Structure formats: C-alpha cells, structure tokens
Structure 1
C-alpha cells in the first residue's frame, strides 16, 4: 500500500485533467473554428464551476441592457478558495498600510470591445489550462476572469458574422464577412465605448463591474483587445506619455511582464511591438484606471478585430486565423499569471507602498456650486469609493480653476471638500487636478478631463491641509406644500431640472418658462425659471399629486405663489412667458453619423432625460414626413457629404422654415455651412505656403501643431440667449478638434472671445489655436418660423461632461 500511494499522487492530476473537458470537447467544435455565442461561453464557465467547485467560483455580477449575464470566475487552489474572503480582506488591509497579504491578485478582462472577439475565445482555453496544466501558478495567486465585459456588442458581432460569412470562410479581405455595417459590434447596447467609461461610469456594465473591482483592487489587471489585421501583437511596456503619478515600480513591472511575453513569442517566431501607440494618461481606460488604484494595468492588442473573421489575408500575404489570434492572447494571459505568481512578495510590498500617504502638491479640492451639480459629483465619488467632506464659513486660498491663477474662495457648510489624504489619493489627484502634466503631446486620447470643469463647479485647489466635516449637507424638504396655490415656481440651472421637466411633460403637465428675469414675493428668478400654474392643468386628474411626487423624486424645490402679478419683470400672462411644448423629437442614425455620437444622444434621452425619441435611419429618411416632428437632431459623423445633398438639405430647410427645430452637431455643421439659408460659416485661415523641408521623421510632430487632443477652453456665454439659460457668463468647454466657425449675428450663445484660444487644460497645437481664435461654440439661427441650433463642441461627449448637458436640454425646450 505504501508503494501504491506515491503512484496515485502522480496519476491523480492527469486523471483530473482527463476528466475536465477542454473548450473544444465541451463546445463540440475545435476552438477557433467558429465564434462562440455568449450563452455558450457562460455554459462552459458554469460547467467548469460545477466540475471544480473547490477550485473555482462563478458569480453573476449583473446584466446588460439586453439582459445578458455579466459573469466573473474566481480560480485558485482548493485551500485558497476556502479562504477567499480572508485573502480579499487581508489584501485590502494594504490600502491602510496594514496586514500581511501573501497572495497575488490577477484580474483578466476580455472583450470590452464586442467585435474584438478573439479574447473571449482565448479566455476559455486560458481558464482550462489554469485549472489543469498550469495549476501550479495558482498556489499563491487568485485569478479573477471576466470572460466578456461587453456581451451585447460581442453577440451583435458574432451573430452578424455567422449570418454573412462564407462557408468555408473566405480570407479575401474584400469579402462581406470582413466588413461590418454601421452599427458594428464594438460598442455596447447604447453604442458607448466601455473601454473609455471606467472613470465616468455612465454605462450599466461599468457601474456593476466597478462594484466588484473595488472589492479586490487587483495587483495586476489586463485588458485584452484587438487592432488592425496588419498589426503585430502589442504588449507592455506602454508608450509615453505616462502620467506623472505612475510609480517607478509600475513602469518597471510592465517591462518585467513584457520580457516574459517576449520569451514565448520569440520561441514561436511571432511578431510583436512595445512602447508605441498605447500610452498611460487618460484615466478611464482598462489599463490606466487600475494603475491609478495601485495595480499594474496593461492593454494587450492582437491584430484582427472586426475584419479578422475566422481568417483573413494580410497586406503582406500572410493568413491570420482566429486560431492564431487565440494562441497569442492565450499565451500572454498565462504568461501574466506566471509572472505575478513569481513576484508575489514584491507585488504586495509595492501595493502597500502605493497606498502610503502621498505628498501631492494639492492637498484638498474645494468645490462650490449648485446643489444639484454637487450631488451629481458626490454620486460619482461614492461609486469610486472616494471620501469627501464639507467645508465651513471660511475663506480658502489656493489655485482657482476659473482664473487659472492663485486666489481665494469663500466657503460654506455646503462646500464640498475632497482631500488627497485618503486611500484613493492618486485617483483623486488624477480626476481633479487642473491640468495633467504631459511628458509627450502625441497621445492616444483626450488630454483634459478635470472634474470641476466637467461638472461646472467653482473650484479651488489648496496646497495646505484644511479642516472638513463629514456631516452631510442639510436635507431639504421637497414637495409642493399647499395644493391650492396659483402657481409653483422653480429655478432652471441643472440637468436634474430638465429631468424634472421631462417627467412633467410625460404626464401632460403644462409648464411655462420665463424669458426675462422677474421678482415675486421678494425672491429673484432668472431666465428659464419654470412656472407651473393650477389653471393650466385644471383638467389633469391628480395634478397636485403628480407635481408633488415629481418634486420629491428629483429633489426639485418648488415655491408656491398665490398670484401671477410679479414685483418686477413680466407677469405670468405676458408674451415673455412661454409655454414649453411637449415635443416629438427625432434623431438621424446610420452611415452619415458616428455610432458613438449617436449613442450619446440615444443614451441621454432614454437613460438620463427619460424622454421619448424616434430614430430615423438615413436609409429611409427621405421617405419620412418631417412635419410629424418638432425637433430633428443631426449627430456628429463623417458621412454628411453624401447625405446632405441638395434634395435632402432643401427638405430639411423647408421643414425648419415651417416651424421645425434642427440641432446640428459636429461635422454636420460643416456641410450645412455650404448650403443656402444656413448662416453658419467656417472660419477662413490663411494657408501657409511655405514648403516644409523638415525631416520625414518629424511629420507626426508637425501634424499635431494643427490638432487639439481633447483640451478645455474658457468660453464666454450670452445667457440672455435661450440656448444658455441657467448658465453663468463663462463656460468651460471640452474641445475635441480644430473645427472653427464664425460668430452668428445675434445668435452666438457660447463662443471663444479674443485671447481665449489657449487651453486652460490639455494640449492644443499652435496652428490649431490660431484657427479657433474668436470662434463659435454653440449658437442659434432663426430660419423662417423655425430655429437652427449649432453645436460645434459636443456637450454630451462620452456622457461625462455634466455641465454641458443643460445646453442640450435648452436646445430642446427653451429655444423656440
């Protein structure tokens, strides 16, 4: 018996391997020969969890908009899994400088972009190998795997591909199976890019994922991606610019992991590149966000993407197959876990060191502003588990965001204080700093995002510690009070006010608004203030209850008054008090538009404003009777040259003249500027005729002189224009490009004044600054009985520029 036992210990692991089905065995086809639908992926992970309950745990952490499950798999040794909660708690003690964590936590995220579809396939082979041949990596490591961050987008791609692919598949890159349509599989249901939503959390997938991520704060996080079919594999180390908060260890460990990957790629003769293209600056990526939370965040990019299919011919005549792509992602996934398991002590020591007190220049950020905007910001901070407090009636000194200079700010009990003296100090610095330091102006994404600008708050950054209280702001009583009042009055200065209005309009409540400031009962009301009278709504059953419930739901303070006779200004029956129409709104979709820009509008209406919108696709647009609609929105996009032909433009113009309202955004403005009747005109700039004799290698640097890579500019506001009701006389706009248009005579609601063409935050090239000088941001034009609203900059960009959203609501409800 003693001789048999050692033999059993040798045979047992191979017996277990034989019993556990590989992905190919379970699915019934060779992995890489077909694309696996999401429910089949979930079935395989569930099978593994059932087969290995002592070494694997599967959890559903949420659902997508289309009701697909979002799952996480936790795998480690049997002993580690028995102590999983203790391991997690001990690990998080490191954020307080405590504990003695001795395990590495590795989180692998697959398929955040739906049509970068290989990574979910690779995840199944990776988890299988970790449970079998590579199980030794798990002795001191917990691996968390999200096999598909974006199931809606991935199934959109897989279903499309299965519908259009040849049998057998065709490697000809011109074949239909390599060309998705307008709504491709990259984005989620609302056409948002989930890889740019980690910090802003506008999407349901991001919100649910972060709850779990914050419970673990992994040492290592990998985001698996794909790029063009002709690109070799990319892995860490990343490219410049690196944000200045990134530690030497975080940079060094990226090199350590990269060299391990290179060992395997070299052995197989696979091509790869590092230190190019993919930088570490913008905070809302799946690599940077984990880094700013103390981990090693990395992007891995495999050639292929939506054009890859099951196989495609590259430019140099090689055939890139799905099996090739799986092999590469599978290799880097296992290599990552291998390196982590071999560096457990260092990872834990450096993670704990990361969370020690930071000596950042700014110790506190003080924020004043409208209560609704402050509440919006604290909602975001809560999701990130960022601590905050409140100020006092004192004057704070430091860097003022509105002037970009040293100054002071009068505080109050309602002033929000966010300190860098907390575990999430680095994330606070990155999200709140006035201007991120750029080590290189050639970047992959926007270079400015500071939350005080994004939320429209008066802010001060202090270099000294200040006292704050953890007491919450005083709660207000909401509701309408007396139900027999003549009218109820409310201010208009936040997106929450627009949500309140939309809720009333959906109940057919008639709402008026003031076009002039007025005073009543000693209280001043500005333009845009809403007026809800009892007589307007006498035929609405339950009017008082509807109004009372809406006031409480949206925390909307309403003031009852017993008369329409004002102390000063215009009485409620004046022509300067308009009625807000219950609008029928349409937005163009399809080839002329960008899916991302259309998605921002779609999401705004359905998930933020909660107001109905019709989607008109360009394929049948010319058969639609526009007279059925009050508002038409043209989202930004690159395909307007063919869409806005003479016939279509004339149709739209006639509809506007008859009383319609057109909201033109981004590149749609460029085509309208060339058409008769539209007053918007592109700014002319003298062309530089100098022949460029710089070295060829400097061409990229020359190009960025004319580029604006997501920078913030201080704009002037004419808040007498209905498009700007509810705003102060300045607005910080996020400019994403160098498009520039002349002021509109009498209609320039928001514009860059003389000398305001230098960004307050972010990068703008010297030539781009010249081009945008004294140019329009938002404006209006009366055309016949209708209106045209021009939005050169995008107030709905990625759903996070909160202070821009009221402009869009004004375009809908206030511009008449």
Structure 2
C-alpha cells in the first residue's frame, strides 16, 4: 500500500509539474514557428522554465556579447542529478586522468552560432520543454547542457531585419525582399566574425567566454546546429572525409550509431536527409572538430533554410519549406541525440577515458624559439585551452625543423617554449602544432593548414623524443613577470625601444593617441654601446616639449605594455644615422578610413574592423560603398580596401581618377586580396595579374564525376607557403628574411618593378596544406606584399591576408607597418 501511495504521489507531482510548465508557444503567446523570437524573449522563456522546475534545471549566464546581450547555459537533468551537479561534473573530469567512476552521459547542444540560421534557437526551446516533460526519462542518467544562442548579436540582427521587411502574411515567393538579406547579414557576430571558425583561435569574446565553461564539462557529445541552402535536405552524422587521423574508431562508429537513430525518425516522417557528404572533420576550429579533438562525439547538423527561408519559402522543386518544418527537424535530431547518449552512457564514459590515455604520437615534444612577444602571445592562447607549456632543459634538441623541413639539431635556450603531447590535452597539441596535418581527401570544407609555429612566426623543432622540461622557474613566463626596465628621467634627451611585435604596435598606437610624438629609424644604428634595428622607436624630449605631461604619459604607457625603455643623452650615434637625419622619420598621426559595404566581404571587412578596435586600439572611420564617392578623401591619410567581390562595379573610371589624385597628393591606399583586381593594369598602378599556366590534362575528356577533383588541380585550400622578405623595406620592419604566408586562393600577381617586400620565389610547394598541381605552377615568382610609390603617396598591395580570422599572429605587424612605417 505504501508503495502504491508513493507511486500515486509521484504521478501527481509529474502531472502537476507538466501542467504547470508552459510550452514555448503558451509562454510566448504565439505558436512556435509563426514568428521569430527575439533574444530577450528566449532568455525570458529559459528563466521562466528554471524558475518553474528549479529542481531539474539550472540556468547560468556565462558572459555578454559585444552588444551586451547575455550568453546563457541551461543544465537539465533529473532532480537528483541537479542536486549533485558539481559532484557529477568533478567525477566526469576525473575521466581525463583515467580514475573516474562516472556513470552519467554529458550532452551539450549548441544552437545558432550563425545568427541568420535562425531556426536553431526556436528548436532549442521546444527541445528544452520536451526534455522536461514527455522525454524526462532520458535525464535519469544524462546531463543535457543547452546553449540556446551562441551568437545573440547576429541572431537579433537577422530577426530585426526580417521583422522590418517581411510581408504580412509572409510570402513564400523567393524573390520577395524578405528572402534577401543585405550586405550586413545576421550570419556573423558584431565584428562580422564567423564564430563557427573561432573555437581554436578564440579571437572573439563569445568564444573565450564559452570555452571557459566548455572546459569545465568536456561533454561526451557535442552538437552544433546549423542551416544550409534552401534546397538542401537535412544533413546529420556521420561526417564526410577527410577525418583527421587523431579521431578514434569509436568516435567514427558512434557517429554512425547516432545517424542511424536519426534516420529511423526521419524515415518514419518521410523526411529527406543525407550523410557522409560535404561536412568533414578536419579544420580544428569548428564546433564539431574542436570538441572531437577534446574527446567528444562532435557533430554538425544542417537544416535547409538559413537567411533565405524566413517563415516560409518555395524551393526550386516547388515545395514549401516553413519555419515549423525546420523546427521539427532540429527538434527531432536534438532529442534523438540525447536518447542515444542516454542509452549508451556506460560506453561513452568508458571510451572517453580511453581517449585521454597517453597516445603514441610520432612527435612527442615541440620546442619553439623566436620573438618573446610572439611566444607570450602563443602562451596566452595555450593557457586559454588548458594546454600546459614551459621551457626545456638547456641542451640540444633533435627533430623535424619547420624552417628547413629536414631533421636537424638545435640548442634550446632559456627563452624557448616547450609543449609536449604527454599531457591531458595531448591530442589537441598534436592537431594544433603538427607540421603538416595528414589529409585523406583534398576535397575539404575549409583551410588545410594552420600549424601554430608558422602562424606565430616562431622557429620550431618537432621531436620524436620526450624533451624534459626545466625544473627551474619558467624562463619564458618570467620574461614579463617583472616590471619593464625604464631608464632616465624627464630631462633625458631620448628614450629608445624596439619594434618586433603587435605589442609594440599597441604601445605606439597609444602614444600617438595621447599626443606623444615618436620617431623611427630607417637604418640600423649603434648608440651607447648597443645596437638597434630598423624600425626602432625613438621618443625625444625635444619633439614633445609641447606636451607638459610627456614623461609621465610615456612611463605609464610603457608599464601598461611592459615595454622597456633605454635612455640616451645624445642624438649623435656611434654608427648609422643621427637622430636629426632624414632617415629618422616621425611616425605620422594618421586618420584612417576603411571601406565597408558591398563589394567588400563581410568577413574580410570584419577582420580589419576588429584589428583596429580590439587588437591595435586605434580609431578608424568606416566609409560605406553607397556614399564613398561623395566623401572628400583629403580628410583621410589612409584608405583600406578589404578583400571582396565585385569591386569593378564600384571602382569606375571616375573613382580611379579620384583615387590616383588622392594618392599622388600624399594618401596611402592599402588594397587587399581581390580589391587589387579593381586597379590591376590601370594607368598609374604597376600591379598586374600573372598569366596562368594551363594544364593540358584539363582539356582531355574526363568523366563527369571527376569534374570537382579536376578543378582541385587549380585550387589552393588554405595552404602555408614560404616567402622571401626584404627586411630593409619599412613594410617589413621587425621581420627577418622569411615569412610563412597562409594562401587562401590561387590569385597571383607579377612582381612589381620595385617595392617587392614579400614574395614567392621558385619553391612553390606548400610547407603545409593542399595546393593543386596547376596552382603550384602558377604561383612561382608571385607577389605577396608590395609597395608602390605614386606621387607623394603610396599604394600597398596585400595579395594574401595577414589578418585572416584574427589568428595569423605573425602577419599583423605587416599591417601595422603599412599604417605607421611606410611613409
């Protein structure tokens, strides 16, 4: 009888809680799928649910976006599991050390990383509701973590735009305005970055805040919900080749297990889907690959729709795709994922522990050396990922040399960096540091090379032996643990410092903003027994006599950026050019404009915008293409044309004439990527596209199914190439004679008559990544970065993108040089 009463009581509790908890449609006041829900309304619903069933759900705000919208996580499980949530998490993390008795499955569902792939967040609310009601049995041995919107800024940008332009009632006619977003689409975040390509690089505030929480859980399963083109059926796991070689057999097999479960539901509903195509598991900074390299079953789910679909749209075959349809599909795969995880909790825990056992990777240690600022920048990134690093014992290290691409030996110095795969994050270390990732299929969805020693401009040795770390204080980290050395006082003749990194560029930018005048050396010099390189900064008392607080400002800024300052009481150098020479120039206080809008790429524009506001901290004006022809360019010293399509429509003969006049009068034009094509071959501009070498095999008849692979002969899919650098040119101050560039396409330009600063010579084989055979023939003797004088001004050509996704750290100083040193 007592058991019967308990069962009746529990049934009543369940029925009451189910009745009390409103569905999304009931709470919002409209049927889910008939309107787009703004982010604050989504947050309201999640707050309502956690207040109503607080015993089975916790809600956490883990950060804020650039536009101050909250980022939230919902933790859903049984009442008993929620009471013991911290203990469950701690026991789960012990699995990474192989000592855990964990028994719960951990599933993390991430929605709306691309803002205009807007169905995701809508589906998250329905999934949350049903997990807490009709599917609550899944939660007995499962913790479900839901991030309802990774990208609130982009989502609200899309939703607000759609609400402005939709028809009432909405129209399914794909030609209607409501199906055609403008240039400023909702896909990316505030700074127009693609957050789904930032998991490893952590350039964006959303990514950094999210990763802090992700590291606290390291789920067994992670799903990234997306949308693709309107005419595509649903995509779910298993993924396509290439799979990175570190992905385990279990991770591959479990993707199949989940995919088959999804297929069961899709088949029953007559829904179309595809698997094993297009979406691979290789590039490490995706929402499926990054979790995979941290032990999860990482997956992308792609629903047809995206920004074109609105509330409903007619497809190319005459079907109507509605938001309700899209919600149903994402909702189904979300619940199916939790179902499979709940049914396989024991297996997931067992295999997760296996993933974190020591692996016999070829390279056991990576030893890096180079510019200390770049080492520290890399160290900061590794700290954010929880990757341990330190310094090696002094001695000789033998292994693969990234520069020569041969086996060699080098002596490790006290300032070297050591990263070993013999650590918890060893798999991630291999993926991020290996010289050249093994590519099983050249048809990939993204770039094929990203090795961090190249990205940070550091010399590196990959050793097959486990290099012992130093037992003394970490020399690398202590480089900046102490305050910088600042010599002299306010009566000193001049203060001197070096120019090697983005830290130096930030230091200079802040001095300029604070009205401190700075000179730089165009020739090496020697003074007071010390040698100084080209680009060295010279701050004199005389130049700043107008600034009463000059000395205090200089010292405070130097401390802020940990910049040591040498002092001298003379401008008479021992070797080189005296401070009054024409070779010692003033850094100009420049006013900078950046072109925005169509025809620039939103992503490429965003990289420039983010560089100035979040990395260099220097003001810019954004001039939209819609009205730039009406702007008086004489108000600006620098104009930047980001990479993009269709510049020929904007850069008319009249605009070319105005640009040439402005440059000749002293302006500085920085043309990036495909923007260069708009001035290619034009009178007054010496840049010319290289004539391409044709591969005769292309004209021979080929089977239709091989067409895509034939095209790959002409493709370069994000490969790293070694370039020659002229370090005597102001654009290359702070660099040595070699630079590794990330080439994203096969556009090539001839050398300039003079001013070739970085260029590819005869060796056209990439050091890492894929480049087709014909593409390699075409890039020999081609320009990467160059400068051309025109009257009193300059045109700077950046064929490759030094700011790509904000993570190619070693390219950024080229951009700073273009602003401050080239004059």
User: Could you tell me the TM-score, scaled by structure 2's length?
Assistant: 0.98
Residue 75 of structure 1 aligns with which residue?
76
How far does the alpha carbon of each residue in 1:264-295 deviate from its partner, in whole angstroms, 9 at most, with x for none?
A: 00000000000000000000000000000001
Residue 192 of structure 1 aligns with which residue?
193
Contact 2:693-2:774 at 8 Å conserved across structures: no
Residue 233 of structure 1 aligns with which residue?
234
User: Following the alignment from structure 2 to structure 1, what is the Cα–Cα distance between the partners of residues 158 and 306?
Assistant: 10
Gaps of 5+ in 1: none
Contact 1:708-1:735 at 8 Å conserved across structures: yes
Residue 577 of structure 1 aligns with which residue?
584
Q: Where do residues 91-110 of structure 1 align in structure 2 (5 Å cutoff)? A: 91-110=92-111
Residue 474 of structure 2 aligns with which residue?
472
Residue 279 of structure 1 aligns with which residue?
280
Residue 788 of structure 1 aligns with which residue?
795
User: Following the alignment from structure 1 to structure 2, what is the Cα–Cα distance between the partners of residues 479 and 166?
Assistant: 65
User: Following the alignment from structure 1 to structure 2, what is the Cα–Cα distance between the partners of residues 10 and 160?
Assistant: 46
Gaps of 5+ in 2: none
Asked if 1:298 is matched to 2:299, the reply is yes
User: Following the alignment from structure 1 to structure 2, what is the Cα–Cα distance between the partners of residues 400 and 612?
Assistant: 40
Asked if 1:543 is matched to 2:544, the reply is no
User: Which of 699, 713, 716 is 2:724 aligned to?
Assistant: 716
Asked if 1:757 is matched to 2:759, the reply is no
How far does the alpha carbon of each residue in 1:743-780 deviate from its partner, in whole angstroms, 9 at most, with x for none?
A: 112210000012x2110000000011111111000000
Contact 1:480-1:547 at 8 Å conserved across structures: no
How far does the alpha carbon of each residue in 1:394-428 deviate from its partner, in whole angstroms, 9 at most, with x for none?
A: 12110000011111122111110000000000000
Contact 1:479-1:549 at 8 Å conserved across structures: no
1:443: how far off?
0.2
User: Following the alignment from structure 2 to structure 1, what is the Cα–Cα distance between the partners of residues 351 and 620?
Assistant: 50
Contact 2:518-2:540 at 8 Å conserved across structures: yes
Contact 1:190-1:599 at 8 Å conserved across structures: yes
1:359: how far off?
0.7
User: Following the alignment from structure 1 to structure 2, what is the Cα–Cα distance between the partners of residues 718 and 147?
Assistant: 50
Contact 2:511-2:557 at 8 Å conserved across structures: yes
Does 551-560 or 267-276 show the bigger shift?
551-560
1:392: how far off?
3.4
1:617: how far off?
0.1
Asked if 1:503 is matched to 2:516, the reply is no
User: Following the alignment from structure 1 to structure 2, what is the Cα–Cα distance between the partners of residues 771 and 317?
Assistant: 44
Residue 819 of structure 2 aligns with which residue?
812
Runs of 4+ in 1 over 3 A off after TM superposition: 1-12, 474-477, 686-690
User: Following the alignment from structure 2 to structure 1, what is the Cα–Cα distance between the partners of residues 72 and 485?
Assistant: 41
Asked if 1:529 is matched to 2:536, the reply is yes
User: Which of 647, 658, 665 is 1:658 aligned to?
Assistant: 665
Asked if 1:252 is matched to 2:253, the reply is yes
Name the SS for the 1:498 alignment partner: helix
1:448: how far off?
0.2
Residue 415 of structure 2 aligns with which residue?
414
1:567: how far off?
0.7
Q: Where do residues 391-430 of structure 1 align in structure 2 (5 Å cutoff)? A: 391-430=392-431
User: Following the alignment from structure 1 to structure 2, what is the Cα–Cα distance between the partners of residues 544 and 212?
Assistant: 43
- How many positions carry a matched residue from both structures? 815
Name the SS for the 2:699 alignment partner: coil
Q: Where do residues 147-226 of structure 1 align in structure 2 (5 Å cutoff)? A: 147-226=148-227
How far does the alpha carbon of each residue in 1:164-184 deviate from its partner, in whole angstroms, 9 at most, with x for none?
A: 000000000000000000010
Residue 600 of structure 1 aligns with which residue?
607
User: Following the alignment from structure 2 to structure 1, what is the Cα–Cα distance between the partners of residues 216 and 20?
Assistant: 33
Contact 1:125-1:330 at 8 Å conserved across structures: yes
Residue 704 of structure 2 aligns with which residue?
696
User: Which of 749, 754, 757 is 1:746 aligned to?
Assistant: 754
Asked if 1:649 is matched to 2:650, the reply is no
User: Could you tell me the TM-score, scaled by structure 1's length?
Assistant: 0.99
Contact 1:234-1:274 at 8 Å conserved across structures: yes
Asked if 1:330 is matched to 2:338, the reply is no
C-alpha RMSD over aligned residues: 1.0
Name the SS for the 2:224 alignment partner: strand
User: Following the alignment from structure 2 to structure 1, what is the Cα–Cα distance between the partners of residues 234 and 725?
Assistant: 48
Contact 2:720-2:766 at 8 Å conserved across structures: yes
Contact 2:693-2:778 at 8 Å conserved across structures: no
Name the SS for the 1:214 alignment partner: helix
1:450: how far off?
0.2
Residue 562 of structure 2 aligns with which residue?
555
Residue 519 of structure 1 aligns with which residue?
526
Going from structure 1 to structure 2, the CA distance change for 1:177 and 1:522 (only over 3 Å counts) comes to same
User: Following the alignment from structure 2 to structure 1, what is the Cα–Cα distance between the partners of residues 654 and 779?
Assistant: 31
Residue 18 of structure 1 aligns with which residue?
19
How far does the alpha carbon of each residue in 1:2-24 deviate from its partner, in whole angstroms, 9 at most, with x for none?
A: 56554343343222211100000
User: Which of 618, 622, 626 is 2:625 aligned to?
Assistant: 618
Contact 1:587-1:613 at 8 Å conserved across structures: yes
Contact 1:479-1:548 at 8 Å conserved across structures: no
Contact 2:693-2:777 at 8 Å conserved across structures: no
Name the SS for the 1:152 alignment partner: helix
Contact 1:392-1:415 at 8 Å conserved across structures: no
User: Which of 665, 668, 690 is 1:683 aligned to?
Assistant: 690
Name the SS for the 1:36 alignment partner: coil
How far does the alpha carbon of each residue in 1:183-219 deviate from its partner, in whole angstroms, 9 at most, with x for none?
A: 1000000000000000000000000000000000000
User: Following the alignment from structure 2 to structure 1, what is the Cα–Cα distance between the partners of residues 656 and 95?
Assistant: 62
How far does the alpha carbon of each residue in 1:92-135 deviate from its partner, in whole angstroms, 9 at most, with x for none?
A: 00111112100000000000000000000000000000000000
Q: Where do residues 47-126 of structure 1 align in structure 2 (5 Å cutoff)? A: 47-126=48-127
1:541: how far off?
2.3
User: Following the alignment from structure 2 to structure 1, what is the Cα–Cα distance between the partners of residues 187 and 693?
Assistant: 39
Residue 634 of structure 2 aligns with which residue?
627
Going from structure 1 to structure 2, the CA distance change for 1:88 and 1:5 (only over 3 Å counts) comes to closer
Contact 2:695-2:774 at 8 Å conserved across structures: no
1:800: how far off?
0.1
User: Which of 713, 725, 740 is 1:705 aligned to?
Assistant: 713
1:556: how far off?
1.1
